[in-house]
């Protein structure tokens, strides 16, 4: 399995460089923004809140996968994979903001 999520480590590094706490909090999507316009209110009503419940870096995501039975969880750089026949995958999707982890589920498990 290959998964990718926003990398809290990259966001913290950007915050430390810029010192902009507002931009940091906005980038995490951990809070629901208050809609200012009618269109934004309508979008919130139709699509719901699009915020994150939790944030990960490579190590914390690997630990979570191990905790749930995955084996050999490994952080992968954008553009790299151990998955054979990976051509349909976009290995660099959101590379500037994401961490990628690949892991295996033991044989016979769902």
pLDDT at 77: 96
pLDDT at 98: 94
pLDDT at 51: 78
pLDDT at 26: 85
Phi, psi of 104 (to 5 degrees): -120, 145
Alpha-carbon gap, residue 37 to 55, rounded angstroms: 28
pLDDT at 110: 61
User: For every one of its 110 residues, what pLDDT tens digit does the chain have, with 9 covering 90 and above?
Assistant: 999 999 999 999 999 999 999 999 888 888 777 788 999 888 888 887 777 888 999 999 999 999 999 999 999 999 999 999 999 999 999 999 999 999 999 886 66
Q: What is the DSSP string of 63-104?
A: HHHHHTT-EEEEEE-TT----TT-TTS-TTTTTTTEEEEEEE
């Amino acid at each position: 399995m290959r998964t990718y999520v926003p990398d809290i480590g990259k966001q913290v590094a950007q915050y430390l460089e810029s010192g902009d706490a507002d931009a940091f909090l906005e980038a995490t999507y951990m809070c629901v923004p208050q809609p200012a316009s009618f269109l934004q209110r309508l979008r919130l009503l139709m699509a719901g809140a699009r915020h994150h419940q939790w944030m990960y870096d490579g190590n914390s995501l690997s630990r979570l996968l191990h905790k749930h039975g995955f084996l050999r969880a490994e952080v992968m750089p954008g553009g790299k994979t151990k998955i054979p026949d990976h051509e349909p995958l976009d290995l660099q999707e959101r590379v500037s903001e994401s961490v990628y982890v690949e892991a295996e589920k033991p044989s016979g498990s769902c």
